Amino acid sequence: MSVTQGPGSVDQVVPPQDFVIWRYQPTAEDTGTTVPVEIAIGDQLCGDWTPDLITDRCQFYVKFGSSPPPYFDPEQKQVYVTTTGEQLNVSPKIIDSGFCPSPRFSYFLEPGNPDPPGYLDSLTGTFHYQGTAADTGHYYYLLVMQAGSAADTMGFSIYHYDQALCGDVTHNGTVDVADLTWLINYLFVTFDPPPIPMAAGDLDCGGVVDVSDLTALIDAEFISFTPPCANCQ
């Protein structure tokens, strides 16, 4: 595939849906202009395109207004962890300059990825997830935001665990020094990834994961040897 007329490039095809994604970063000089774009679809030999190998063409026009369309915040969180019985709401962060019309949301799955249990709010882009023990696993979906003819996509992952062992922030089945290292990194160094699941790091059952939980884990492993969460009511 190749752009044979107009700006931009074709940089992704997602089988088997056969999505063709055209990308272009407008400049200030594009404001108020309308440009034709043509994408050629066909076979490619040795990196060269020849007219007789083109099987189809897609033509459309792009109008550049003064207000850019909304797009996903590239710095937002894209990985979420939950356990059975918890309600998880995955909400995208949108950079919006007041573009009209308002965006609408949908999602699709790449081959081999199961459909996550729950539903998507098409007006806000929030995915409301609540799985049962049978839904334990990893889910990945591609969220699509469309505003008029403009669109943006971003992938989100949900890790669902059936149970949380208090103190086992690495989710390997035991509470050991590796959990202490993980918690120190999360609280003071990398700030990511979080405990898996987050409830496993709440050793004092205070509702949040903070320094007091790190203190409780040190106490459980090296001082009193009291099992994590033993003092929770």
Is residue 126 domain-shared with residue 200, that is, in the same domain?
no
Please give the structure tokens belonging to residue 132. 């049962």
Q: What is the CATH number of the domain that holds 213?
A: 1.10.1330.10
Please give the structure tokens belonging to residue 199. 């409830």
Last residue of a domain, one of 34, 63, 92: 63
Residue 71's contacts (CB-CB under 8 Å, 6 or more residues apart) are 94, 95, 145, 152
Is residue 81 domain-shared with residue 151, that is, in the same domain?
yes
Range of the domain at 40: 2-63
Last residue of a domain, one of 106, 129, 161: 161
Last residue of a domain, one of 21, 38, 63: 63
Report in angstroms the alpha-carbon separations of 206 from 66, 88, 90, 178, 221: 49, 19, 23, 22, 19
Q: What is the CATH number of the domain that holds 89?
A: 2.60.40.10
Pair 232, 217: CB distance under 8 Å: no
In this predicted structure, what is the pLDDT of residue 100? 66
pLDDT reading at 232 higher than 80? no
In this predicted structure, what is the pLDDT of residue 146? 92
Structural domain tally of the chain? 3
CA angle at 129 for the pair 212 and 13, rounded to the nearest 5°: 115
Is residue 173 domain-shared with residue 128, that is, in the same domain?
no
pLDDT-derived band at 22, boundaries 50, 70, 90 = confident
The Cα 191–Cα 185 span in angstroms is: 6
Is residue 92 domain-shared with residue 155, that is, in the same domain?
yes
Is residue 157 domain-shared with residue 77, that is, in the same domain?
yes
Is residue 169 domain-shared with residue 222, that is, in the same domain?
yes
Q: Is the peptide bond before 101 cis (omega within 30 degrees of 0)?
A: yes
pLDDT, the chain, mean: 82
Q: 130-134, 142-146, 226-230: which range is least confident on average?
A: 226-230
Is residue 144 domain-shared with residue 187, that is, in the same domain?
no
Q: What is the pLDDT of residues 136-194, one digit of tens each?
A: 888 999 999 998 777 899 999 998 887 778 888 887 778 899 999 999 999 999 887 77
Share of the chain above pLDDT 70, in %: 84
- Comparing CA positions, the residue from 101, 66, 30 lying closest to residue 8 is 30
Report in angstroms the alpha-carbon separations of 39 from 6, 20, 33, 97: 9, 9, 19, 29
Average pLDDT, integer, range 83-102: 83
Is residue 173 domain-shared with residue 217, that is, in the same domain?
yes
What is the H or E stretch that residue 217 is in? helix 211-218
Helix axes 177-184, 211-218, angle to 10 degrees: 160
Is residue 6 domain-shared with residue 52, that is, in the same domain?
yes
